[in-house]
Structure 1
């Protein structure tokens, strides 16, 4: 039997303006700022659950596609409604070569960090056999 020795504690996002990026992700995920330091902010669920997201300042703007990204699912509403909500929060659609026939939507946060909105909602996944 394999002994588990690590757990994801936090994901990190680099940002020229950490406050703007943190506010976007707080609104998108329903999270809050749970810590600050001179270089950035930590956001997470209000109940203190893991993982959190650290948003830290860097001097350069993002210039290439992310090698790691978040996949989101609508929770408590339709995927179409969630897409509209994310766009209203400041996300924008992006093309990373995904093609026209994919079942997800590729978006980017206010500084261009890509993420996907998956087609099936949390409730659809949980109720599937």
Structure 2
């Protein structure tokens, strides 16, 4: 049985951070404009809950991304893993307790790290344990991740 899971990331600007990670992982930002319109019409959402971004109706305080090859359900949500970025009032203050390790088949660490730096990530340090090495980086809001 395949597991479905969602990684939730606290954020100051979920829309910008979702766009960064969508480009970083070569995923896509989810769009649910029709569903949002239904929620507004039914009274399950208020106008303050939504905003227009790039000409599309989106949730004001959250944005999700998914693997474009993942199957989707009837609402357009992925059946497999996804990431959601949500607004929180406080900024990041300490090291992550959990982080992502990112790699792309056939693409070296240095090439991947350089591409991610162009997208707005920062290189933090390099590590090695036995034959395994990695580059520690931070996304635009300071969340640590590794390129391996």
Distance 1:8 1:94, change over 3 A: farther
- For residues 1-129 of structure 1, what are the structure 2 equivalents within 5 Å? 7-35=3-31, 36-49=58-71, 50-94=80-124, 101-102=128-129, 103-118=133-148
Q: Give yes or no for contact 2:138–2:144 (8 Å, CA) kept in 1.
A: yes
The 2-side partners of 1:63 and 1:109 are apart by: 14
Q: Give yes or no for contact 1:16–1:61 (8 Å, CA) kept in 2.
A: yes
* Counterpart secondary structure, 2:20: helix
The 1-side partners of 2:61 and 2:128 are apart by: 40
Displacement, 1:101?
Answer: 4.4
How many residue pairs match? The answer is: 111
TM-score by length of 2: 0.67
Q: Which has the higher strand share?
A: 2
Q: Give yes or no for contact 2:20–2:119 (8 Å, CA) kept in 1.
A: yes
Across the aligned residues of Structure 1 and Structure 2, the Cα RMSD in angstroms comes to 2.0
Which sits farther off after the overlay, 40-49 or 15-24?
40-49
Structure 1: tracts of 5 or more residues without a match: 119-129
* Counterpart secondary structure, 2:30: strand
TM-score by length of 1: 0.76
Displacement, 1:83?
Answer: 1.1
The 1-side partners of 2:81 and 2:117 are apart by: 24
Residues 43-79 of structure 1, C-alpha deviation per residue, up to 9 Å, x if partnerless? 0012335210000111111010010110011334222
Q: Give yes or no for contact 1:74–1:117 (8 Å, CA) kept in 2.
A: no
